[in-house]
A and B are shown apart, each in its own frame.
Chain A
Amino acid sequence: MIHQDIKKILSSEDEKISTREAYGMKLAELGEIDKNIVVLDCDLSKSTRTAIFAKKFPERFFNFGLAEANMMSAAAGLATMGKIPFASTFGVFATKRACDQVSISIAYPRLNVKICATHTGISVGEDGATHQAIEDAAIMRSFPNMVVISPADGTETRKVIDEIYKYNGPCYVRLCRGNSPVLFNDNYEFKIGRGVKIMDGDKATLISAGFTTSITLEAAKTLEEEGIEVDMINMASIKPIDSEMIVESAKKTGLVITVEDHNVIGGLGSAVCEVLSENYPVRVIRLGVKDKFGSSGSPAELIKAYGFDKDSIVKTVRENIPA
């Protein structure tokens, strides 16, 4: 059942928005209150939605053209001058094309750069494998000093942007192209390093982040109708992760299933395994992209084909809980 504390922060509206849209709007709002915020993009401002900020504050928006490596190091330079750079491009370019620049110019000197990458996961859809970041969280998570966050909906995105703006240090935010249901209302509070318990149950623990949280919630509701009550956690903060919440839930259920729109190697599923194997070993099943490249197709088709749609989650729980 819905966790008792969650009722006052769950949205009752039936609306959808992409996390990139929520990001763009929030950024333009933050730009009003702090003139040290600067926004950088690499010819994708219409897609990343930084164009909203660019229109409002053209003097604080820098387009670097198709040169992601330069953008990341320049963001570091701006940070040394006391600016708060938000650098945006697609996830594949932010983490793979500019990998060394993010590591050496930003993470190593722990500079206050916010990398907000859109178009992560196979839910990008039709553009196919070249534009679907399935290893971005793994790469970013492996850099010391880097905070990695994957917000589930528009509300959480706004709260995440507020929180990383206040936090002094490098952050990577994993945003999505497609619309997803608004799960939380404005009472929701995000904290770096904290998960949010959405449902209570003792048969299994479902942990998700980002685009998959709304899918996982649907699965949890379906399971509840069948009389299978699960603990469900939204873990936007992939690094640092909420170890305490994961261990506490694992102790209760003894079975953990992670759901992510990312390779199962290196992302949320791996992070949960690391916590549990060191603290309270229980069985973990990782749903997500199973070490394969993405593909063209509609987001719904792909999520089904790659095995982390609602039905796959329900089936996995059904088949693996003790009889």
Chain B
Amino acid sequence: MDSELKKKLQEKAKIIRQDIIEMLCEAGSGHPGGALSIADVFSYLYFSGILNINPDNPSDKYRDRVVLSKGHACPVLYATLAEKGFFDKSHLKTLRKYGSILQGHPDMNKTPGVEMTTGSLGQGLSCSVGMALGARLDGLNINIIAILGDGECEEGQVWEAAMAASHYKLGNLVAIVDKNGLQIDGFTKDVMNSEPLADKWRSFGWEVFEINGHDFDEIDYSIKSALSIKDKPVCIVANTIKGKGVSFMENVCDWHGKAPSEEEKEKALCDICNLKLED
């Protein structure tokens, strides 16, 4: 990947992570861990130019659709959409408050740029299957990207959708699994082991890439490859660190669904600020 672009994406990821921390502290509740783990992927999807997403034309028929199936991670989506210009950043401070356009889980009718209402885990990939079928019927050459969690893959509906996407050869559909290895009650391998996860997707007829979800070169390669595969759906299993970028949140189960205090916020922002830019 071009080093200029990589630098830009790393900077955007920093801003997204900072905004996630700020808005969660202000809200006093919410889900930092799984938002921070997928921040680099979001930076790539919205700021690399790979997708057709334009805040000046949010209802463009030809736009690509990103569906956040792991809806509780919405701070990453809101921070990204605000940074992209879908709405003013001042809204971030209203997260989870009564009357806010930023609901505790994504609401497509309240937030500009949110493509699907999600939050009850397992449904977003199915919605994406419907979008992909609809796009194909209309001959629209667009991409549908669904973001799932590895814990979410315990939901049976995910596999119903995986089966259907493969049956209908949905080459316009890409699922990215944020495999951060943690869920509310502990490590995924202890709560409900879903390994071998990549093999499961393969056995359902998907093309699978396994990447480091914090490495922009790997993200770039896998997504470009995924978009070029047109005869079947592609799953990118992104190995990530829950809470990535904030030292005391990394790999700590408790930070799945807890907001930082003022003091913790300052430390978190400091950590994010000092994140080393890798080349």
Give chain A's interface residues, CB within 8 Å of chain B. Answer: 38, 59-60, 62, 64-65, 67, 69-83, 85, 100-101, 104-105, 108-110
Given A62-B133, A82-B134, check contact A77 B160 (CB 8 Å): no
3 tightest CB-CB pairs across the interface, nearest first?
A77-B130, A81-B134, A73-B126
Q: Does B81 contact A (CB under 8 A)?
A: no
The one of B108, B126, B128, B132 in contact with A69, judged by C-beta atoms closer than 8 angstroms, is: B126
Query: Do residues A78 and B126 form an inter-chain contact, with CB atoms below 8 A?
Result: no
Within 8 A of A (CB), among B98-157: 107-109, 115-120, 122-124, 126-135, 137-138, 156-157
The one of A59, A67, A73, A108 in contact with B130, judged by C-beta atoms closer than 8 angstroms, is: A73
| Among B107, B108, B123, B163: residue with most chain A CB under 10 A | B123
Query: Do residues A74 and B129 form an inter-chain contact, with CB atoms below 8 A?
Result: yes
Which residues of chain A are within 8 angstroms of B167 by Cβ–Cβ distance?
65
Query: Do residues A69 and B163 form an inter-chain contact, with CB atoms below 8 A?
Result: no
Q: Does B161 contact A (CB under 8 A)?
A: yes
Give chain B's interface residues, CB within 8 Å of chain A. Answer: 65, 107-109, 115-120, 122-124, 126-135, 137-138, 156-157, 160-161, 163-164, 167-168
Chain B minimum-CB-distance residue to A77: B130
Which residues of chain B are within 8 angstroms of A71 by Cβ–Cβ distance?
126
User: Once the chains are docked, how many angstroms separate the CA of A162 from the CA of B181?
Assistant: 50
User: Once the chains are docked, how many angstroms separate the CA of A203 from the CA of B128?
Assistant: 55
The one of A59, A70, A79, A85 in contact with B164, judged by C-beta atoms closer than 8 angstroms, is: A70
| Among A65, A73, A110: residue with most chain B CB under 10 A | A73
Query: Do residues A101 and B126 form an inter-chain contact, with CB atoms below 8 A?
Result: yes
Which residues of chain B are within 8 angstroms of A100 by Cβ–Cβ distance?
120, 123
Query: Do residues B120 and A104 form an inter-chain contact, with CB atoms below 8 A?
Result: yes
Query: Smallest CB–CB gap between A191 and chain B, Å?
Result: 26
Query: Do residues B137 and A60 form an inter-chain contact, with CB atoms below 8 A?
Result: yes
Query: Do residues A80 and B161 form an inter-chain contact, with CB atoms below 8 A?
Result: no
Query: Smallest CB–CB gap between B117 and chain A, Å?
Result: 4
Query: Smallest CB–CB gap between A242 and chain B, Å?
Result: 28
Chain A minimum-CB-distance residue to B157: A69
Query: Smallest CB–CB gap between A98 and chain B, Å?
Result: 9
User: Once the chains are docked, how many angstroms separate the CA of A188 from the CA of B208?
Assistant: 56
Is chain A's interface secondary structure helix, strand, loop, or mixed overall? helix
Query: Do residues B134 and A83 form an inter-chain contact, with CB atoms below 8 A?
Result: yes
Which residues of chain A are within 8 angstroms of B160 by Cβ–Cβ distance?
64, 67, 69-70
Query: Do residues A101 and B109 form an inter-chain contact, with CB atoms below 8 A?
Result: no
User: Once the chains are docked, how many angstroms separate the CA of A59 from the CA of B168?
Assistant: 11
Beyond contacts A77-B116, A104-B123: 7 other A-B pairs, Cβ-Cβ < 8 A, are A38-B133, A70-B161, A76-B116, A80-B108, A82-B138, A83-B137, A110-B109
Which residues of chain A are within 8 angstroms of B135 by Cβ–Cβ distance?
81
| Among B127, B163, B168: residue with most chain A CB under 10 A | B127
Given A69-B156, A77-B131, A108-B117, check contact A101 B123 (CB 8 Å): yes
Query: Do residues B157 and A70 form an inter-chain contact, with CB atoms below 8 A?
Result: yes
Query: Smallest CB–CB gap between A236 and chain B, Å?
Result: 29
Query: Do residues A105 and B126 form an inter-chain contact, with CB atoms below 8 A?
Result: yes
The one of B132, B137, B164 in contact with A67, judged by C-beta atoms closer than 8 angstroms, is: B164
Query: Do residues A74 and B164 form an inter-chain contact, with CB atoms below 8 A?
Result: yes
The one of B115, B118, B126 in contact with A74, judged by C-beta atoms closer than 8 angstroms, is: B126
Which residues of chain A are within 8 angstroms of B127 by Cβ–Cβ distance?
73-74, 76-77, 80, 105
Given A70-B164, A80-B115, check contact A109 B107 (CB 8 Å): yes
Query: Smallest CB–CB gap between A83 and chain B, Å?
Result: 5
User: Once the chains are docked, how many angstroms separate the CA of A100 from the CA of B120?
Assistant: 8
User: Once the chains are docked, how many angstroms separate the CA of A84 from the CA of B137?
Assistant: 12
Which residues of chain B are within 8 angstroms of A74 by Cβ–Cβ distance?
126-127, 129-130, 133, 161, 164
Some 26 contacts from A to B, beta carbons below 8 A apart, are A38-B133, A38-B134, A62-B133, A64-B164, A69-B126, A70-B126, A70-B129, A70-B160, A70-B161, A72-B126, A73-B123, A73-B127, A73-B161, A76-B126, A77-B129, A77-B130, A77-B131, A77-B133, A80-B116, A80-B134, A83-B137, A101-B123, A104-B123, A108-B107, A109-B108, A110-B109
Which residues of chain B are within 8 angstroms of A59 by Cβ–Cβ distance?
137
Query: Smallest CB–CB gap between A134 and chain B, Å?
Result: 25
Which residues of chain A are within 8 angstroms of B134 by Cβ–Cβ distance?
38, 77-78, 80-83
